[in-house]
């Protein structure tokens, strides 16, 4: 029987696994083990031995059933002028993944990756250029949080799965990671502060809905014109807008979600004209949604970053949708840390020409 890594085990199943292994007082032992692994961020058997006061017999039983030890190799850290930090980690496969820590007043938001590379191929995103290398395990995902908390001495308050990869393409591992991040016995991240973003994998959205997952689900929409969305996001050819938005409506209704957040990368000359505003009004009728406008961040691609004047004009025209409209300023964008810029590069910063270097504020329609 292959031994599972302790960090990969969902905390809800840990007591049962310990009981099956013959560990006495399995419920109490599971709580202590969860705290060590997911709260204190212990990385190896020596740390577990100290944190749990393991006897030789109990340690032998655990070692027979589970693997444990570091799964990420720290490679590089870059800090932006605004305090945002990007961490690069090597996987055992030789692939590189990145995580970004964003400081905003008392909040510490960690943008986590779920895959090395990405299979979605979105044309505005640097990660999509890599193709899919492999899925990350739940343990690799949560180890990034443990390492960053240990390095900074700061508790992560929010987690967003908006880093490298399509989270719902690695569904089981991401759901297990969310559960372990939210574990009440292990310095939890509140469930309303865990966000899973998707480019529109309809079967996975339906599964997320059927399982009544408590995490926030955000949809990367980027256009309500089917032909344009297909050019931006090849996945749209497989799951066209009527099918996608139908799944989103069922999610909102069945999971009693008051507001669904739709992410919209703003691309001048592509999706910021009146025709696109009209398409949003038409296609999103009946949804209760927040439109999160993300000015495109330079990745060296064929697009152009909008000016703030263009963004403000666009958000002004969005007022006729009668929905909350927010503009997201991507922290660390000048240093390759913004939305869509993660590409496993660890030395030189990405191109910065055309960036809006300072946001004038948040526009709300």
Enzyme catalytic residues:
98, 339
* Separation of alpha carbons 125 and 121, rounded Å: 8
What SS3 class is residue 163?
coil
Exposure of 49 in the CB half-sphere (CA atoms within 13 A): 11
From CA 157, how far away is CA 240, in angstroms rounded? Answer: 35
CB 216 within 8 A of CB 195: yes
Give the integer Cα–Cα distance in Å for 86 and 106: 19
Residue recorded with tokens 């296609």? 283
Closest Cα to residue 302, out of 349, 232, 357? 232
Rounded CA separation 7/177 (Å): 9
Task: Residue 244: name the closest of 276, 199, 278 by CA.
Answer: 199
Per the CB < 8 A criterion, the answer to whether 97 and 79 are in contact is no
């Amino acid at each position: 029987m292959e031994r599972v890594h302790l960090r990969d085990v969902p905390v809800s199943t840990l007591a049962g696994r310990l009981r099956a292994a013959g560990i006495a007082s399995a419920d109490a032992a599971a709580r202590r083990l969860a705290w060590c692994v997911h709260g204190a961020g212990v990385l190896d058997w020596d740390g577990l031995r100290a944190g749990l006061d393991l006897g030789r017999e109990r340690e032998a039983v655990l070692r027979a059933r589970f693997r444990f030890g570091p799964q990420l190799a720290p490679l590089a850290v870059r800090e932006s002028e605004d305090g945002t930090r990007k961490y690069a980690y090597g996987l055992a496969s030789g692939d590189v993944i990145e995580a970004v820590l964003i400081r905003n007043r008392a909040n510490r938001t960690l943008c986590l990756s779920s895959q090395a590379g990405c299979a979605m191929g979105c044309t505005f995103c640097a990660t999509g250029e890599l193709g899919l290398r492999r899925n990350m395990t739940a343990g690799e995902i949560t180890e990034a949080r443990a390492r960053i908390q240990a390095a900074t001495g700061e508790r992560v308050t929010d987690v967003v799965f908006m880093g490298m990869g399509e989270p719902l393409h690695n569904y089981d591992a991401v759901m297990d990671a969310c559960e372990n991040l939210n574990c009440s016995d292990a310095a939890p991240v509140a469930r309303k502060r865990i966000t899973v973003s998707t480019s529109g994998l309809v079967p996975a959205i339906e599964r997320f809905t059927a399982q009544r997952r408590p995490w926030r689900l955000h949809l990367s929409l980027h256009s309500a014109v089917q032909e344009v969305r297909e050019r931006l996001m090849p996945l749209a050819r497989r799951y066209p807008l009527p099918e996608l938005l139908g799944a989103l409506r069922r999610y909102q209704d069945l999971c009693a979600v008051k507001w669904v957040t739709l992410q919209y990368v703003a691309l001048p000359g592509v999706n910021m004209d009146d025709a696109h505003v009209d398409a949003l009004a038409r296609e999103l009728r009946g949804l209760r949604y927040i439109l999160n406008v993300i000015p495109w961040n330079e990745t060296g691609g064929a697009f152009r970053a909008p000016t703030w004047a263009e963004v403000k004009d666009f958000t002004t025209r969005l007022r006729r949708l009668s929905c909350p409209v927010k503009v997201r300023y991507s922290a660390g964008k000048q240093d390759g840390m913004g939305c869509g810029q993660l590409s496993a590069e660890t030395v030189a910063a990405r191109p910065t020409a055309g960036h809006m270097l300072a946001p004038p504020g948040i526009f709300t329609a």
